[in-house]
Structure 1
Amino acid sequence: MKRKALALAIAICLLFAAVPGLVGFIEARPGPQDANSLGQYLPPDAVKHLKILGYRTPAQFVAFASSNREMLDRELAPHLTPQQINEALQQMQPVIRQIRWRPVFPSEQSLGLILEQPVQIVSWQELLARYGAVSVSYDESNNIPYCTPIRDQGQRGTCVSFGSVSFLEFEFINHKGYPQNLDLSEQFFFWACKQRDGFPNSDGTSMTAARDVTKYDGACLERTWPYNPYPTSDPAQGPPPSGAKEEAEEYTIQDIDYIRWRIDLSKLKNSLKQRHIAVFAVPVYASWYYSEETKRTGEITMPVANDKRIGGHCMALVGYKDDADYPGGGYFILRNSWGTDWAYESLYGAGYGTIPYAYIKQYWQGGWVAS
């Protein structure tokens, strides 16, 4: 038996020696494509185009086509005709049937960031030039276990308040010894922002106003001034109850580093690694805002050419993960303020999502970290 095995091994070695390049041929043969990979359905150039925009799965592709088909056709025109896109969508149906998208209410979630800087969409070609060959170190951090529960801003444009208050709660609980059930008032924080932002009639506020409220005004306890999720004729819904201002003074943080633009990702990652979270703001685009797959998983994708800007949104960054499959070489884990119906099947828990490094790098609209 041993002699037969030895003879077979010798024969195989002689075969490889007699046919130069056979080893390379065998190694180069592609394996079967994963049914959940776009490479199973689309040509390589289209896959490369979509990957730099953050689209990796058939579910993302189909959701994009369902909500913004004309935009998708224009984006992929260099590679595919509308008929070829139709054929690919048809082939993806067996995979999509395994996913159960469910209605998310409201269908259009509230935003509330007043953008303070001009925004210009970066083309996929430019993204590829900047991030197509990014080295990845395979590092990660996750501060979700130390966060307070996910909240819901409801129908008001108060995202800046919710992102900022989540930062205050996190810092006071994890770095100042306050109880785990600390619950600060988003209503007070938003009212204080409206006293500073110069837009008293706008149902939204700015990051610079929130920065100053974080440092100088703070937020009272939720039980002192509970949040109302419904808008009224007065966006600020003031004035605050008696004693609220004095109570809020206890919950200010002066030691923050405000970053207006040109964000250094390593600075963000280092802060997250040291068990802090960060407040950030970005423009919101139709390609992901209306996507059923983003509503399911919380995975935000890059804006495409001619994407429609819906508005601006503030959230908190609570972790990150290096991953070569994402634009820029990884993603940040974000905490949203749209309740737990949004991102209901997120890998990080309902209400949490991800945003590519490249999105933060290209579209940062202000924010801060603990200093």
Structure 2
Amino acid sequence: MTGLFGCAAPSQEAIGTYSNLDFQTGSAPAPTATVARDKTLSVLPKGAWPIRDQRYRNTCVAFCATAALELFRAREKGDTTPETLSEDFLYNRMRGGLSQEYLDWVRSVLPDYELGATLLAQALMVQREIGTLTEAQRPYQQATPLFDIDGARPSESHRRSAARRKQAHFYYHKMTVETGMIDPGQAYPKPGGSGSVSASDAAYLLLKSGSAVAVGLPVYFLPDARMNWTAPATTRTGYVPYPGTDKVYDAALVVASGHAVCLTGYVPVTDAPGGGYFIFRNSWGLDFRTTFRDPVDGVSGTLVPPGYGVLSAAAVDKYVWEMMAPTKDGPMASASLP
């Protein structure tokens, strides 16, 4: 992520590469929602779950994947307060614990890889094959310099401890990229069933089953050279606008980078873009979503505490390029992992 709360500003090369990806047209319109999304959902715990802050490191994927796993494990155990897991360990193993062949492939497809960018697929592979540590075992290093990406390798005792927290099953889907175009016409496999649904339907069904949902999306430059994720109105209210789904930003915009967050709830709103809003947990501390008024019409501010935000269902349908959630049964992967 880029800007005030995130990580390094994207390189010109990265901006150029992202800009060649067309998120606004595809071979077909985004699939129409078919699931009755008529209930407000939340997978947030009843107990304390302090918001986290990635600071200026490119670790948003590790944070949202860890948040999804923390909530899933807490619900499975019947706990009200999630065990705090280590984003630092997950990120470290995403960068250095997978095969070199796989990491070389990631490097070839991620414009910001040398700045520390990662995929949700990497997080899934680490959580499933390597496991995870607690935050107490490997605390997050906020002050780590941006380019000190890989960090210290875990000790053998930490490797054994992590292996005891492997998560077996996940839902995973990625959009394909062909001829420089991320195709929003793709359908998502229906979680827990057969057939296909829209991205917002898939996210809703996962939340309904008790799974928080990690998603990756593009970050856009707005006409005033700010970004849709870090513009003052966004950081104040928590509502993230996207072109074609928000009337203020209908014009084509330039893709600057990407960001990943953890969806924790949904609110149906009849006249909202796509029929409702998803609530997400961000990883930018309490400086994101700083006002207490309602972020958008139909969504009570009490449902979106400081550190959280709101995405329209239409934005989820049109722009999510990766979706991952820990599940009870599976694997429900739509395709083999890249």
Which position in structure 2 is the counterpart of 1:107? 4
Q: 1:260 to 1:121 in 2, by over 3 A?
A: closer
Per-residue Cα deviation, 1:78-129 (whole angstroms, up to 9, x for no partner):
xxxxxxxxxxxxxxxxxxxxxxxxxxxx735338999999742427xx98x9
Structure 1 residue corresponding to 2:218, chosen from 280, 283, 299: 283
Match of 2:276 among 306, 321, 330: 330
For 2:313 and 2:4, how far apart are their aligned partners in 1? 27
In structure 2, C-alpha distance between the alignment counterparts of 1:149 and 1:111, rounded to whole Å: 25
Moved more, 142-151 or 291-300: 142-151
Q: Aligned residue pairs: how many? A: 262
Q: How does 1:1-371 map to 2 (within 5 A)?
A: 107-110=4-7, 119-122=21-24, 138-146=38-46, 148-177=49-78, 180-195=81-96, 196=98, 197-198=103-104, 199=107, 201-232=114-145, 233-261=147-175, 262=186, 263=188, 264=198, 265-287=200-222, 288-303=228-243, 304=249, 305-345=251-291, 347=301, 348-369=304-325, 370=327, 371=329
| % identical equivalent positions | 26
Q: Which amino acid aligns with 2:72?
A: E
The unaligned stretches of length 5 or more in structure 1 are 1-105
The residue number in structure 1 matching 2:335 is none
**Which structure exhibits the higher relative contact order, with contacts defined as CA atoms closer than 8 Å and separated by 6 or more residues?**
2
Deviation at 1:179, TM superposition (A): 7.3
Greater strand fraction, Structure 1 or Structure 2: 2
Aligned mates of 1:249, 1:201 — CA distance in 2 = 28
Larger radius of gyration: 1
Q: What secondary structure sits across from 1:251 in the alignment?
A: coil
Q: TM-score, normalised by structure 2?
A: 0.69
- Do the aligned residues in 2 keep the contact of 1:185 with 1:227 (CA within 8 Å)? yes
Structure with higher helix content: 1
CA distance 1:339–1:365, shift in 2 (3 Å): same
User: Residue type matched to 1:327 in 2?
Assistant: P
**RMSD value, Cα:** 3.2
After superposition, give the CA deviation of every residue in 1:229-257 in whole Å (9 maximum; x if it has no partner). Answer: 13434302121245211111122211111
AA at the equivalent of 1:286: F
Q: Which amino acid aligns with 1:269?
A: Y
Change (3 A) 1:220 1:270: same
Query: Matches of 2:319 and 2:84 in 1, distance apart?
Result: 31
**Cα displacement (A) at 1:164:** 0.7
SS in 1 for 2:285: coil
Question: Do the aligned partners of 1:148 and 1:169 also contact (CA within 8 Å) in 2?
Answer: no
State the Cα deviation string for residues 186-214 of structure 1 (Å, max 9, x = none): 00000010023334744121122112112
